[in-house]
Copies of this chain bind each other. A is one copy, B any other.
Amino acid sequence: MASLGELERAVMDLLWAGHEAATANTLRDLLAQTTAAHGGAAGHEGKDLAVTTVLTVLSRLEKKGLVERERGMRPHRYQAVSSREDHTAELMHEVLGSAPDREAVLARFIGSVTESEAETLRKLLGHS
């Protein structure tokens, strides 16, 4: 239950962008930004999204546990539950988790990371 649709991803991108800054996003902000980002992408030229469309997507993302909504304030505030990096790492674990031979998968996996990434990994694993 992890994969995102195109619009869902566009919205998450916005929310993730504001995650570090702990930005409280209102629907209006998101609508404007989403219309720009999503509409600007290939195949979606000039497509002005309806307010309810973004709302629906936000609700679905909330149900999926990716978005948290503060209902206290009147224009509700929407924000990503976790950072993009955390989410992606978690996704990787989900993918890996479904494998019987995790170590074999890891072997293949690190066989195709860039050298700089391998270096990063060495540093992070360094001190046992």
Measured CB to CB, the residues of A under 8 A from B are: 3, 84-86, 88-93, 95-96, 98-113, 115-122, 124-125, 128
Known contacts A110-B121, A110-B124, A124-B110; is-contact A104 B91 (Cβ 8 Å): no
Contact yes or no, A85 B99, CB < 8 A: yes
Task: Return chain B residues, CB-CB under 8 Å to A96.
Answer: 88, 92
Q: Which residue of B lies closest to A110 (CB)?
A: B124
Interface of A is mostly: helix
Give the number of copies in the complex.
2
What is the bound-complex CA distance between A99 and B92, given in angstroms? 11
Q: Which residue of B lies closest to A123 (CB)?
A: B107
What is the bound-complex CA distance between A39 and B110, given in angstroms? 36
What is the bound-complex CA distance between A75 and B1, given in angstroms? 36
Contact yes or no, B125 A109, CB < 8 A: no
Contact yes or no, A125 B103, CB < 8 A: no
What is the bound-complex CA distance between A88 and B97, given in angstroms? 10
- Among A95, A101, A111, the one with the most B-chain Cβ atoms within 10 Å of its Cβ is A95
